[in-house]
Amino acid sequence: MTKSKKIAVVGGSPKAYIPDLKAFDQEDMVWIGADQGAEVLIENDIVPDIAIGDFDSVSKVSKERIKQTSQSFVEYPDEKDETDLELAINEALKQNPSHIVLFGVTGGRIDHSLANIQLLYPLMQQGIKGTIIDQQNQVELVFAGEHTLKLNEAYPYVSFLPVTLEVSGITLKGFYYPLDEADVPYGSTLCISNQLIEDEGTFSFHSGILLVIRSKDLNQ
C-alpha cells in the first residue's frame, strides 16, 4: 500500500515549547491530539481529527469541549501500558502515513523528551519519516546513506549527533564546516552547530544512525 498521508500529532508538553501550529497546517493534513495536545489544537483554531488519551491533564470543562469539537474522541483509562503519545502514534500508523510530525513532545521533563525522541526509531524502521518540531528545533533520525538538506532560515543551525556507538564515514558538502569521511563516536561534539552556505547541502555516512537537529537561538 502506498504511503501518502502527512499526519501531525500534538502532545501535552509545556505550551511555551509549541510553535504556532497554523503555520504548519497543510491541505489534507490529519491532526491528532494526545490528551492535552487536543486542547492545544483547539486553542490554535485547528479542529482535531482525532483526540485520544486518558485526558487526565485537562479540566472537565476542557475535556467536554474537546469531546464536542473533535471529529473523533477516543478515551482510555488512566492506568494503561502506553503513554497518550504512543496511543496517538498508533492511531496515526493505522492511516498508513508517509510522514508523522510530532509537536508538544519536548520541554519540561527530560525523561519524557528523551523517550519521545526515541519514538522516532520504530517509525524509521517502518519506512516512515518522523520529525519533532518545537519553538527552537526540528529533529529527525536518519539511517546511513546520502541525504539532502535545503537551507531553512527559520532553523539555521544544523547538528549531527551519533546515537549509535560510532557513525562512520561522515561527509558534509555545502556546509560552513565540511567533512570528508570522518568517523564520529558516540559522545563527540565534532558535528555540533554547523550551517549551510549554499541553498542545498548533502550529508552522507556509511554506517550507524544520526540524530539531525536543525535549530535556532531564542532571539532569532
Residue-wise pLDDT for 140-154, tens only, equals 999 999 999 999 988
1 pLDDT band, cuts 50/70/90, is: very low
How many percent of the chain have pLDDT more than 70? 98
208 neighbors 164 (Cβ within 8 angstroms): yes
Work out the average pLDDT over 80-96.
91
- List pLDDT tens digits, range 90-112: 999 999 999 999 999 998 889 98
pLDDT of the residue at 134: 95
How far apart are the C-alpha atoms of 220 and 216, rounded to whole Å? 6
Place of cell 490529519: 30
Q: Name 146's bridge partners.
A: 204
Nearest to residue 168, comparing CAs of 141, 140, 208, 210?
208
Class of domain 5-135: alpha beta
Q: Which CATH architecture has domain 141-215?
A: Sandwich (2.60)
Q: Are strands 179-185 and 166-173 parallel, antiparallel or unpaired?
A: antiparallel
Asked whether the beta carbons of 7 and 92 are under 8 A apart, the reply is yes
Mean pLDDT over the full length of the chain = 93
Contact 4, 55 (CB under 8 A): no
pLDDT interval class at 220 (50, 70, 90): low
For residues 14-39, give the mean pLDDT.
92
* pLDDT bracket for residue 3 (50, 70, 90): low
- CATH 3.40.50.10240 domain range(s) in the chain: 5-135
Q: Mean pLDDT throughout 113-131? A: 94
Neighbouring CB atoms inside 10 A of 98's CB total 13
Question: Is residue 164 pLDDT above 70, yes or no?
Answer: yes
Residue 2 has pLDDT above 60, yes or no: no
Tell me the β-bridge partners of 196: 175
Distance, in Å, from the CA atom of 61 to the CA atom of 63, rounded to the nearest integer, reads 5
Residue limits of CATH 2.60.120.320 in the chain: 141-215
pTM: 0.92
Q: Cα–Cα distance between 103 and 144 in angstroms, integer?
A: 26
pLDDT tens, 37-72? 999 999 999 999 999 999 999 999 999 999 999 999
| Inter-residue contact 48 to 66 (CB < 8 Å) | yes
CB 214 within 8 A of CB 158: yes
pLDDT, tens digit, 9 for 90 and up, residues 179-208: 999 999 999 999 999 999 999 999 999 999
Please report which confidence band the pLDDT of residue 82 belongs to, taking 50, 70 and 90 as the band edges: confident
Q: What is the DSSP letter of 175?
A: B
